A = this chain, B = another copy of it.
Amino acid sequence: MKRSDRLVSLTNYFLENPRKHTSLPFFSEKYAAAKSSISEDLDIVDRVMREEGHGHLQTIPGASGGVSFIPDFSMENGNQFINELCSRLQDPARILPGGYLYMSDVLGDPQMVNKIGRVLASVFSDRPIDAVMTVATKGIPLAYATASVLNVPVIIVRRDPRVTEGSSVSINYVSGSSRKIQTMVLPTRSLHEGANVCIIDDFMKAGGTINGMISLVKEFNANVGAIGVLAEADDEEDERVVENYTSLVKITNVDIKQETIEVHPGNY
């Protein structure tokens, strides 16, 4: 295969297999090309990906060496994306009863969701993460988008047990804003002891739901390695029960009567 063809094929391979360690001989054989030619190809892919802020190739030298593609979202691209997101969300027609925001259109756009996942994953890129956890329903697409880039499985916590998942562990937690006692369930087979979990959700008010997931992770003797949310409501900051999280946008000054709302970049 010629260099030009190899570059298209390699780029496709890396984008389909993020963070997967692949040996150089694999590529040599696949393309029937010398290792030195493959090395030059990889330099080109690495340089272009870096220049365009999509990620970089991580090379491990030696006998068991190889290469893996680490997707990234440059700070510049990330900030630009978040500003676009803020202006899209800052529409008074989105205000719903209870200070919630209608975001189903944003969360229903797969290209948008994939970008949010890439931004969140880039923040957690250098932490050891074994799984992404979210609670049904709205956090699910964001969790998959993030996990897809981190190349780890997704674990979905439910508020109701289902017959189709076998035995499960359930915990009670206090919803932060309504102070109601609620239940969360996770199938026993879903999570291993000692795993490092990244918790993802779409919206955080006081943080009760995320706190519930933290308790659930501890119940399995696993660790919380990272917490990421698309949007946080600033108004409840003094009641917040969660620390050390990453938010992309922060929603402030929601006034239902005046129909005004402000959306600013979060702590990303």
Is the beta-carbon distance between A97 and B154 smaller than 8 angstroms?
Answer: no
* Interface assignment of A122: CB less than 8 Å from any CB of chain B: no
On chain A, which size bracket covers the interface?
A: 35 or more
Q: Quick one: CB contact mask for A164-189 with B, threshold 8 Å, 1 for yes? A: 11100000000000000000000101
A234 to chain B, nearest CB (A): 18
Q: Which of A11-19, A207-215, A217-225 contacts B (4 or more CB under 8 A)?
A: A11-19
- A137 partner, pick from B4, B7, B16, B156, beta carbons under 8 A: B156
* Interface assignment of A49: CB less than 8 Å from any CB of chain B: yes
Q: Which residues of B contact A8 (CB under 8 A)?
A: 7-8, 10-11, 44-45, 48-49
Query: Number of copies of this chain in the oligomer?
Result: 2
Instruction: Give Cα A247 to B95, complex, Å.
Output: 40
A4 to chain B, nearest CB (A): 5
* Interface assignment of A148: CB less than 8 Å from any CB of chain B: yes
- A98 partner, pick from B137, B152, B158, B163, beta carbons under 8 A: B163
Interface secondary structure of A, over-half rule: helix
Q: Which residues of B contact A144 (CB under 8 A)?
A: 110, 113, 141, 144-145
Is the beta-carbon distance between A104 and B140 smaller than 8 angstroms?
Answer: no
A227 to chain B, nearest CB (A): 19
Which chain A residues (1-57) contact chain B, with CB distance < 8 Å? Answer: 3-5, 7-12, 15-17, 44-45, 47-49, 52, 54
Instruction: Give Cα A15 to B152, complex, Å.
Output: 21
Instruction: Give Cα A64 to B7, complex, Å.
Output: 29
A residues with CB within 8 A of B:
3-5, 7-12, 15-17, 44-45, 47-49, 52, 54, 96-98, 100-102, 104-105, 108-111, 113-114, 136-138, 140-141, 144-145, 147-148, 151-156, 158, 163-166, 187, 189-190, 203
